[in-house]
Structure 1
Amino acid sequence: MATSTSESSTFTEEWLLGPEDTHFYTRTYTASSPRAVVLFIHGFAEYVGRYEWAHGIYSSRGITVFAFDQRGFGRTGMDEENRSPGYTYCKTTFREQFADIDWALKLVHKRFPKLPIFLMGHSMVWLLSASGSFPTRTSPPPTQESISLLSGVVATSPLLVQPSPVPRPVRFVAGMVGKLFPLMLVPAPVNSDALTHDRMVNEAAEKDPMCPKTVSLKALDEVLGGCEQVLRKDYKHWPKNLPLLLVHGTADKMTSYAASQEFFAKVDAQDKEFKAFEDGYHELVHEPDGVKEKFVDECITWILAHSKQT
């Protein structure tokens, strides 16, 4: 365990043993007088270190944040010294991802038993907080015990539909080849200029070795299939009493704003709220000109308001 301090925040770093003896890199931003705790799930081909500024703001306003680099990503998947033996970038599956999130949720509850827990995630559809796919999934299903621990879900820029979908013939071939070579990496070109309106952030992401522009065939097949399943039928399983905040930029070129609107309209949550950021790109947490501050404030305000209800 190590404690690190930057100009904006203080956090504790730990390598924790999770499902299947997987070593997970984790960060905890502990609030001095916590009123809630957030389990944060990052997006595809990135890592929790990219959210340091935002998570420092959360902890300064009474919300403890627990975040981990997902299986196959960030330091969990790429740290040569500490990652699990045999693990490489993008070596992951739906079933493993859900088991990992279930483990992290129970860990957070054990560490902070008296605090309401909120799940928050960005972009990637196989994450419970990124699209509601955890509370709506039927295969593999989350445990009712885990769902009962949640006080709310915050989904930001979820990948439900791609603005420029991969052609079905290409997906079919990739799926067939992926059955034989699931860990084969193929190009996953990302237009870094579409991340935010901040050129410095985009350039840093483009050069970041922890943000590869590749994807394994297995992960590609599961992500795209999961997108369709959540929007087509899994939304029906959302618990009515589980609050949802869905946030999306109207100019997002990487995930569909219209699909988020459709999902929001379909999901039968008694307490749900949609926040649209006009002209916002994919990573609202990095948008300049006061947008990122407004985005973080909106999320914190919603979480604290729902903390009072628990």
Structure 2
Amino acid sequence: MTRLSLLGGWLMAVACSPVVQPFQPPSAPMAGNIQDEIYQTPDGRALPLRIWPDPDRTAPPSCAVVLALHGFNDYRAAFDWSAPLLADWGVRVYAYDQRGFGENPRAGIWAGADALRADAQALIGLLKARHPDLPVILLGESMGAAVSVLALAQDDKSPKADGAVLVSPAAWGWSEMPFFYRMSLWLAAHIAPGWELTGQGLKRVASDNREALIKMGRDPHVIKATRVDAIYGLVSLMEQAMQAARRLDVPTLVLIGEKDEILPIEAIEAIAHTIPEEQRIIRRYADGYHLLLRDLQRDDVVSDIVAFINDLDGYDRRCQKTVQKIPPENALE
């Protein structure tokens, strides 16, 4: 009976597998382009795009460009709270819905690490061509930070950003996860890949900004029920990012909220200290949660990001806030 049970479990496992959206880099890739509120990827996907500052808003001259990658189950609206603040400093922000999220077709179906990485790399190239005199910084929040690491750690000839900002980087990969969690997730993803989890009852706090959390809860484009195979894909992505972090060769600012209840602080610290010491700056916030760019102290977080941008070598233009006075003594660690 034991052997039959094992055989039955094995048959169930091989009968199903995690679902991943198909992605095949074209043999003769298009250049990709930006059209109004669409990022056309090299393989022809149209990803919804948002650009700050808004056209009707007065802003200082552009001093830098930030490509912002949202977190798991989120979308480009993740930066509604922070992008206007960056725009007040003269930072132009681009954010798109990554494949499998937001207003894209098949939202909720995992897109695969290769596709997520390739999309970010291609858009970096487009932005460097569009803004040749400005530094381009790749900013990723949570899952977006893991994608950022993969995009910047490649050895290929893809255009590189001038710097990276990793906000609460998602790094709880297979090597950081207890054995029981690893085995349970593997079995669930291979036996019932479409099983959906809501996380209700966990009572985890993602931010101290109650208004932002209520807005996320009511937003139909924020995924509330997550397929287990998407979680499986996320963990694999985080593991790849952890392994790739040692190859980062651009200045990198890592932002950590010490009250983060979504990811283990130990895992975030692990990826932060895997980045070569000469490239990394780590900034911790004693009252910060996971969603630092939505937190009530997001002005301080944004000020630190701008300070990091202003310290990048090779660019004479500095970002200066014209709406309010610059907060004093907000130095990086």
Q: Flag whether TM exceeds 0.5 (same fold).
A: yes
Correspondence for 1:74: 102
Task: Give the whole-Å Cα distance in 2 for the aligned partners of 1:192 and 1:103.
Answer: 38
Q: 1:257 to 1:144 in 2, by over 3 A?
A: farther
Tell me the SS of whatever aligns to 1:53.
coil
Higher strand share: 1
**CA–CA separation in structure 2 for the residues paired with 1:307 and 1:48:** 29
Equivalent of 1:214, from 192, 200, 225? Answer: 225
The residue identity in structure 2 corresponding to 1:216 is: R
AA of the residue aligned to 1:36: A
Report deviation, 1:254: 0.4
- The 1:269/1:117 distance shift into structure 2, 3 A limit, reads farther
SS in structure 2 opposite 1:253?
A: coil
* 1:53 aligned residue: 81
Report whether the alignment pairs 1:265 with 2:273: yes
1:80 corresponding residue in structure 2: none
RMSD: 2.6
Match of 2:292 in 1: 284
- Paired residue for 2:113? 94
**Separation (CA, whole Å) in 1 of partners of 2:314 and 2:155:** 26
Partner letter of residue 133 of structure 2? K
What secondary structure sits across from 1:273 in the alignment?
strand
Of 252-261 and 263-272, more deviation after overlay is shown by 263-272
Match of 1:25 among 44, 48, 53: 48
Q: CA deviation at 1:264?
A: 2.3
Superposed CA offset, 1:100-155 (max 9, x none): 112211111121122111000100067433xx23323xxxx4633322xx211000
Alignment pair present for 1:143 and 2:156: yes
Q: Deviations over 1:204-226 (max 9, x none)?
A: 22222111223334432221123
Structure 2 distance, partners of 1:195, 1:142, is 35
Number of the residue aligned with 1:133: 150
CA contact (8 A) 2:39 2:96 kept: no
Percent identical pairs in the alignment equals 22
- Do the aligned partners of 1:37 and 1:118 also contact (CA within 8 Å) in 2? yes
Q: Offset of 1:71 from its aligned partner?
A: 1.1
- 3-state SS of 2:68 partner: strand
Q: 1:228 matched to which residue of 2?
A: 239
Matched, 1:109 2:120: no
What residue ranges of structure 2 are gaps of 5+ in the alignment?
1-34, 54-58, 317-333
Are 1:36 and 2:73 matched, yes or no?
A: no
Shift of residue 161 of structure 1? 2.0
Other-structure match for 1:172: 186
Opposite residue 300 of structure 2, the aligned amino acid is: K
Q: 1:119 to 1:48 in 2, by over 3 A?
A: same
| 1:261-286 Cα deviation digits (max 9, x unpaired) | 22222221523210000031111122
Q: CA offsets, 1:236-269, max 9 Å, x none?
A: 3222xx1010001001010122222222222215
Give CA-to-partner distance per residue, 1:68-115, whole Å, 9 cap, x none. 1111211234xxxxxxxxx44334111111111122111111211221
Contact kept in structure 1, 2:255 and 2:284, CA below 8 Å: yes
> In the alignment, residue 276 of structure 1 is paired with which amino acid?
R
Size of the aligned set, in residue pairs, is 273
Q: Whole-Å Cα distance in 2 between the matches of residues 123 and 59 of structure 1?
A: 22
The code of the aligned residue for 2:238 comes to C
Whose relative contact order is higher, 1 or 2, with alpha carbons under 8 Å and at least 6 apart?
2
| From 117, 121, 124, the counterpart of 2:140 | 121
2:92 aligned partner, one-letter code: T
Instruction: Give the residue type in structure 1 aligned to 2:130.
Output: R
Q: Which amino acid aligns with 2:268?
A: S
Kept after mapping to 1: 8 A contact 2:146/2:241: no
C-alpha contact (below 8 Å) 1:198/1:286 kept by paired residues: yes
- Per the TM alignment, residue 228 of structure 1 is displaced from its structure 2 partner at its CA by 2.9
What CA distance in whole angstroms lies between the structure 2 residues aligned with 1:126 and 1:251?
18
Farther off after superposition, 67-76 or 257-266: 257-266
Match in the other structure for 1:161:
172
- Partners of 1:308 and 1:199 lie apart in 2 by 40
The Cα shift of 1:195 comes to 1.2
Which amino acid in 2 is paired with 1:98?
A: R
